[in-house]
Structure 1
Amino acid sequence: MASLNPIQLEKENSYWVKAQLAVLYTKEGLEPFVCNEIQQFQLKCLDDICYSNGLLSGTLCSSCCTENLVKCPTNKICSVGRGKCRYHRNAAKRFNPAGCPNKICHNFTTEIQNVHRYSDPSYKNTDATQWCGNFWEVAKCFMPPDGYADKASAAETDFNGIISIILNHKAFQGKIKEDLNNKTNMFERARDIGRDVRHSPKPEVEDSDLKKYFHLLRQLLSDPGYLAKDTHAQDAKNKLTELENGTLVINEQCMEKVRRDSKQKLKYELITWYNTKHSTVHLSPLTDAFPTPLAGFYIMPEVDIQTNLPDGRKETTRVKSLGDLLTSGRNVPLEIYLSAVAGLGKTAFSKYLAITWCQAHKNDEMYNLFKDEELEAVSGFEFLFLIILRDSAKVCDVDNMIEQQVIQYLPCSSSMPEVFLKDLLKDILRDEQCLVILDGLDEWTHPDNNCTKLPKSVPHRYARDKCVILTTTRPWKLGVSNLEISQIHKTIELVKLNEDKTREFNLNAMKILKRNNED
């Protein structure tokens, strides 16, 4: 774990750490209050629904998915193009006008709609099959519409999400004196502070701004309606006072809070980066003017997995599952080499892995274009780093490639102190399940520098037990790399699309070309 502490930072940067902690402590102080209110709302809904419909007390339902309860089309949820909704993507996911067979879920939807301040619940966030048993799935209906689908608890939810629940659920007004209908109420202003701190364009906070942050957040935690008497809120308020006065020691535990929050920020910036930078390919040089989105177009090829047998022979097994490519039984191979001749789509495969990972961790309207098996295969990786090796001709170290080709293009490169961000990346690569994709080994050679590390046939990397490195290359390059068997845990080879997949690919291509011509 990194040993960075505020003493190593410039004064303005140490204020940045204090601002981060102030927001995190405030969130922790609000969590029990929010959880209790949402849980009470969930239980009341279930009791009222059972009573109103003549059902036995305790009647529950877990069979209706959210799509079954949301009419089509619904603004901000349904994406209807060419007569097909991506949200209600198949028979099992269609809106059910007859309602819940147990008379629970569609009535629950009405209850949620009625208490939402703007009558606009974030249904994309939530899994209705869990509404009866998991109150946090209900809470997610009151959060912003994007980025919260994978948040399983209050602890995993950021400050913006927690504050949004208070602002959007009308019942909270009963325990808060501040008028939440007022657009300048202190909860709205606190949410602005959270956004300013989290998305600051520079890793500095002025002393005057920090004082304003402390003052408003303490004021919020002192609201006389309920929070002024709440133990958790007052504990958080006391921490803010000590933090501002310098009597709260910012120790390793404090810095770990900041690191965890910063990792989540970096993760979602990665998702935005890949969806912007690596989500398209060109069908051919003649169609460069029309980049083609991989989602809904790409066809996952079959692959052959080569296994080294004890007698020196190689055994080849054809698999169709993406999960089988990234695992070996219960083990995760840390060094995977994927080879394919020119034209079979190594780069497209790499990019598709990246955007599939994005959807697995932050689904949007494109989510339904991905297969559940593919999403599950990459969901276990908390972070993914895609490196195009031809763009790192002067770099020989994987960590430096990630910094120069990915991290420096993310907003966090300017909003976090440089020394903090470097240590954060080291933490991630060492402690988190990561997938690093090095695309195009055949387009990279070791630069002529003073590096003495061996071997020089592949980029240098540290041995990490949670970091999987997938390298793509043409077969000839792998053949001349002279890597030992111990350095290659799995070898896979892309094969040509079979007849059925070729037909599917051609149909997808024709649809896209036709659409481009119409545009």
Structure 2
Amino acid sequence: MMAHQLQLEKEKYRQWVKAGLGLGYLKEGLVPFCNDIADQQHKDILQIIRSTKSLPSTVTCGGCQVETLKPDHKPVGSAKNRVCPLGQVKCSCCFKGKIACPNNICGAIYDYIVQHHSSSPPAPNWKSTDAQQWSTDPWSICKCFINAPGYEQKQSAGKTDCTGLLHLMINNQYFHSHIGCNVTGTNNLFSKVRQYRNNIFHSSSMELEEREANSYIDDMVAVLQDGKELLQQPDAQIAVKKLQDLKKTDFIISTESFEEILRQIKEEMGKVLKSTENFATQYDDLKKKLLELETKMSDQKKGKLENKKELEELKKTITEEKKEKLEMEIEQAKLKEKLTVLETLVSEQKEEMAKIKTQTSSDQSQTEYEQTKLGKLIFVLMVYIQVY
């Protein structure tokens, strides 16, 4: 009975590793495609802007900061009720003191990014990008479409994991014209595959049923066989062959496989930790802002503010900020739960290690047992040590 249970656990672990390796192969297949489309988009952006504004063909800019950049588009509405005509929430166009690009190019690129972000309302990730690079580096623009933390230092498609590449393909409307599959909404193939990374690397058991692992791989293959262009990409089809090989019954967990999964988990945990740090900073800033607003409201009650319209605006702002504060608290709780998963893994695997000396019987292979339970323990401990 014990030997049978160990065999089942070993097989589920193999399936989990198999799915993790699949994500790596998926990335290999997407990188050349994403690089090509990113380069095409960058050339088109610059050509359109230079042509529309009659700028020299060599004009670039390396001095603008996204935090202070003034977009080309202007807000609509009254001075106290400014709204972005492109639909972006808290758009730079609605704030005073922004600086126009001296070379007349970065403001237009800002507009282009907002207009081509597929979410509703458009929500580019300005924190991941460097506007100084927009006119010379295609990937600095692409990062605006990766709506997840942890990609600030990624300088190319090759340095970006498959989740980031899928974010780009889903959120960037320019990519849509190069993809046959409908990538709108949340139930499309590309969005499903993007979620698999969380399913795999946030698993507390490090186990998958064969049926589930094969389903993940089949969907990864379907992404790389998208009929519009990916199906004709040599690198994508080489990756398809690797993915299909994973489903063979003689698939073996090699040392290289082990190291690849370790690398991917380290990267995933790094992102979670980065998200936690970012949220902590944002949360502190928000609490400070709320305190200032509530102090202002208190002054009003003392008769220092007499403008009723200003009072209503103040009340509205406080309500919105409190709502954002609550949403951040919920997100922080989710991130904390993800980190707790790792600690739980360590605790569980320590218990399994203690059983090694007492549960190994004559009809079991010590080597086989160590490759499953002890191997998993060492694996998790290595991740734990290097991440924390």
TM-score (normalizing by structure 1): 0.50
**How large is the RMSD of aligned CA atoms in angstroms?**
3.8
Cα distance change, pair 409–197 in 1 and its aligned pair in 2 (3 A) = closer
3-state DSSP of counterpart to 1:102: coil
The offset of 1:29, in angstroms, is 0.7
Structure 2 residue aligned with 1:111: 112
Counterpart-to-counterpart distance in 2, 1:250 and 1:193: 20
User: Residues 236-275 of structure 1 correspond to what in structure 2 (within 5 A)?
Assistant: 236-246=239-249, 249-271=252-274
- Answer yes or no: is 1:410 the counterpart of 2:335: no
> What CA distance in whole angstroms lies between the structure 2 residues aligned with 1:232 and 1:31?
8
* Pairwise CA distance, 1:420: 3.6
* Aligned mates of 2:276, 2:168 — CA distance in 1: 28
How far apart, CA to CA, are the structure 1 residues paired with 2:11 and 2:115? Answer: 48
Whole-Å Cα distance in 1 between the matches of residues 380 and 135 of structure 2? 38
Would you say 1:215 and 2:145 are equivalent positions? no
Name the structure with the higher strand share: 1
Closer, same or farther: CA 411–236 of 1 in aligned 2, 3 Å: same
TM-aligned CA distance change 1:134 to 1:420, over 3 Å: farther
> Do the aligned partners of residues 188 and 176 (structure 1) sit closer, same or farther apart at CA in structure 2, a change above 3 Å counting?
same
Corresponding position: 1:136 with 2:139: yes
Specify the code of the residue in structure 1 equivalent to 2:254: N
Post-superposition CA distance 1:307-354 (Å, at most 9, x none) = xxxxxxxxxxxxxxxxxxxxxxxxxxxxxxxxxxxxxxxxxxxxxxxx
SS state of the match for residue 144, structure 1? Answer: coil
Q: Relative to structure 1, is the Cα distance of residues 44 and 247 closer, same or farther in structure 2, using a 3 angstrom cutoff?
A: farther
Once residues 199 and 338 of structure 2 are traced to their aligned partners in structure 1, the CA distance between those partners, rounded to angstroms, is: 20
- Deviating 4+ runs (over 3 angstroms): 70-79, 94-98, 246-250, 268-276, 292-297, 406-409, 413-429
Report the secondary structure of 1:202's partner residue: coil
The answer (yes or no) to whether the contact 1:116–1:142 under 8 Å persists in 2 is yes
Q: Greater RCO between the two (CA within 8 Å, min separation 6)?
A: 2
Q: How does 1:335-484 map to 2 (within 5 A)?
A: 410-414=340-344, 418=349, 419-420=375-376, 422-423=378-379, 425-426=381-382
In structure 1, stretches of 5+ residues that fail to align are: 1-6, 80-86, 89-93, 281-291, 298-364, 366-405, 437-519
User: In the alignment, which of 159, 162, 166 is matched to residue 159 of structure 1?
Assistant: 162
Looking at structure 1, the residues matched to 160 and 228 of structure 2 have their Cα atoms a distance apart, in angstroms, of 24
Are 1:116 and 1:170, in contact at CA under 8 Å, matched by a contact in 2? yes
The answer on whether the counterparts of 2:225 and 2:231 sit within 8 Å (CA) in structure 1 is yes
* Alignment pair present for 1:203 and 2:133: no
Instruction: Give the Cα–Cα distance (whole angstroms) in 2 for the partners of residues 63 and 235 of structure 1.
Output: 41
State the secondary structure of the residue aligned to 1:61: coil
Residue pair 1:105, 1:128 contacting (<8 A) in 2 also: yes
Asked if 2 retains the 8 angstrom alpha-carbon contact of 1:239 and 1:248, the reply is no
Amino acid at match of 2:15: Y
C-alpha distance in structure 2 between counterparts of 1:408 and 1:100, whole Å: 41
More helix by share: 2
For 1:184, what is the secondary structure of its paired residue? coil
**How many angstroms does 1:203 deviate by?**
1.5
Structure 2 CA distance for aligned equivalents of residues 97 and 275 of structure 1:
24
C-alpha displacement at 1:15, in angstroms? 1.2
Question: 2:104 aligned with 1:174, yes or no?
Answer: no
**2:60 matched to 1:57?**
no
Residue 48, structure 1, aligned to residue 51, structure 2: no
Structure 2: where are the runs of 5+ without partners? 1-6, 72-81, 289-323, 325-335, 350-374
1:230 aligns with 2:233: yes
**How far is 1:31 from its partner?**
1.3
Given that 2:23 and 2:197 are in contact with CA atoms closer than 8 Å, whether structure 1 keeps it comes out as: yes
Change (3 A) 1:415 1:106: farther
- Deviation of 1:204 after TM superposition, in Å, equals 1.2
